[in-house]
């Protein structure tokens, strides 16, 4: 069973409102990561949810989870319902998706503009395309090239996740760099925690369009697990609505 929850921090006078206001201010430093974790039981199996921030003031989120969120401190307004969309081959949905579009560069990859090695490393797909254009003597046009690069990135993942989409109606927007004020060590591997390494900066962009289900089982997995990286920081949740 999956649950879809609309969560909004409390507003108004009183102790709960004051605490919520402090939490709201802090949420900007980690994109709501710690806030959403606070709604999940510590006895759970780990991160079994994905989420997306929908409003900044007050902080509001959509959360898809295997457990019902629990507001132990009464700081939230929660609206939770079961999530079990009817999926079949050929079913069409409008969708909205926020992702961190990265690709893994293999051995022999050309170093970055700063000369940094990129072999076996996740890199921003837009910055990678921009650097490639520079090497080829082409000007990179954000308005024209970002939608092309982004749609190619999504197309490469869509088939493996059980859907196709209409490129002509796909809207790509909001490309930007996100910088975390401090790394959240909970989601780092032991080796990264010990070394002190963490990714403070990553990119995000938004897709809006229409998709068609080609494999219900794969698509259901994409819905529950998300698409792309940085799912701990509000990326990857595929929001759908029948059309």
- Helix, strand, or coil (residue 59): coil
Given a cut of 60, whether residue 125 has pLDDT beyond it is yes
Q: Which residue ranges form the domains of the chain, and what is each CATH number? A: 2-83 (3.30.70.1200), 92-242 (3.30.70.1210)
Most confident segment among 2-16, 21-35, 63-77, 86-100: 86-100
Residues 95 and 66: beta-carbon distance below 8 Å: no
Please write the tens of the pLDDT for every residue from 140-165: 999 999 999 999 999 999 999 999 99
- Assigned token pair, 155: 């197309």
pLDDT recorded at residue 180: 77
User: Helices 142-158 and 125-135: crossing angle, nearest 10°?
Assistant: 120
Q: For the chain, what percent of residues have pLDDT higher than 70?
A: 76
Q: What is the pTM of this model?
A: 0.81
Cα dist. 75→33, 82, 141 in Å? 16, 22, 45
């Amino acid at each position: 069973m999956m649950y879809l929850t609309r969560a909004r921090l409390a507003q108004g006078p009183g102790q709960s409102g004051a605490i919520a206001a402090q939490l709201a201010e802090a949420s900007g430093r980690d994109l709501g990561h710690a806030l959403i974790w606070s709604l999940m039981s510590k006895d759970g199996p780990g991160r079994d949810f994905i989420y997306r921030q929908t409003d900044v003031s007050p902080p509001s989120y959509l959360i898809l989870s295997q457990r019902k969120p629990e507001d132990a401190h009464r700081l939230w307004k929660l609206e939770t319902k079961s999530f079990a969309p009817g999926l079949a081959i050929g079913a069409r949905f409008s969708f909205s998706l926020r992702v961190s579009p990265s690709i893994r560069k293999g051995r022999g990859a050309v170093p970055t503009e700063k000369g940094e090695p990129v072999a076996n490393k996740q890199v921003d797909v837009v910055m990678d395309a921009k650097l490639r254009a520079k090497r080829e003597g082409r000007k990179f046009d954000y308005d024209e090239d970002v939608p092309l690069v982004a749609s190619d990135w999504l197309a490469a993942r869509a088939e493996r996740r059980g859907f196709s989409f209409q490129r002509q109606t796909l809207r790509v927007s909001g490309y930007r760099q996100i910088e975390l004020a401090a790394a959240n060590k909970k989601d780092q591997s032991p080796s990264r925690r010990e070394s002190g390494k963490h990714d403070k900066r990553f990119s995000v962009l938004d897709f809006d369009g229409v998709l068609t289900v080609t494999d219900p089982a794969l698509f259901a997995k994409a819905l529950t697990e998300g698409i792309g990286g940085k799912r701990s920081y509000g990326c990857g949740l595929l929001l759908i609505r029948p059309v």
